[in-house]
Amino acid sequence: MPSDAELEALFQDTILAHYRRPRNKGPLAGATAGALIRNPACGDEIEVQVALDPDGRLRDAKFTGQGCSIMQASASMMTEAVRGLTHADVDALGGSVSAMLEGDARPAADEQLGDLRALSAVGRFPARRQCAALPWRALAKALAHGSSEQ
Ligand code: ZN
């Protein structure tokens, strides 16, 4: 088992890696819905675009925007993690991330969460929780729009 300090360093490396080389950044061709959200406290701005299959499954998700490293890294991890999931599974995953940001240690120990576990390191900085949560709020809004259009 890695020590807390080792785990912390690992999580910081993961966040930095996603920030430096964000996955799924750019406009999404064939997007069926999207939502833009801002966090004035930090100057973060993100637009998440999604492509939903007719059965509501999330075929693809990408993001554009600008903001701090935590927000960008969170968006990169999120778009990786939610691809192929149903709306219900996206909601459940978002719930786990949100609990983790509030300090719940259980999601951080769940290997199925993959890189998203690194966001548990953000939980210790309350002012940054909104930055990590912003992409998830944008995704939820995009999915709400997507469903209402059907
Ligand atoms: Zn931020």
| Domain of residue 62, CATH code | 3.90.1010.10
Range of the domain at 63: 4-149
- The yes-or-no verdict on residue 79 having pLDDT over 50 is yes
The position carrying tokens 């890189």 is 115
- The whole-chain average pLDDT of the chain stands at 92
Q: How confident is the model at residue 26 (pLDDT cuts 50, 70, 90)?
A: very high
**pLDDT value of position 4:** 78
Tell me the CA–centroid distance for residue 58 and ligand 1, in Å. 26
> So what's the pLDDT on residue 125?
86
Give the tens place of pLDDT for each residue, 82-91: 999 999 999 9
The number of distinct structural domains making up the chain is 1
Helix, strand, coil distribution of the chain in percent, nearest 5: 60, 15, 25
Residue 55 pLDDT > 70, yes or no?
yes
Partners of 66 in the beta sheet? 45
- pLDDT for res 148: 56
Listed in order, strand segments (DSSP E) in the chain are: 33-39, 44-52, 58-66
| Residue 150 pLDDT | 44
The better pLDDT of the pair 30, 125 is held by: 30
Shortest CA distance to 77 belongs to which of 115, 109, 46, 105? 115
> Rounded mean pLDDT of 72-79?
97
Distance 7 CA to ligand 1 centre (A): 22
Q: What is the pTM of this model?
A: 0.93
Proportion of the chain above pLDDT 90, given as a percent? 73
Q: Which of 115, 91, 148 lies closest to 24, judged by CA?
A: 115
How many angstroms separate the alpha carbon of residue 57 from the centre of ligand 1? 29
Residue 110 Cα, ligand 1 centroid: separation in angstroms?
25
Q: What's the confidence (pLDDT) of residue 1?
A: 62
Name which residue leads in pLDDT, 47 or 150: 47
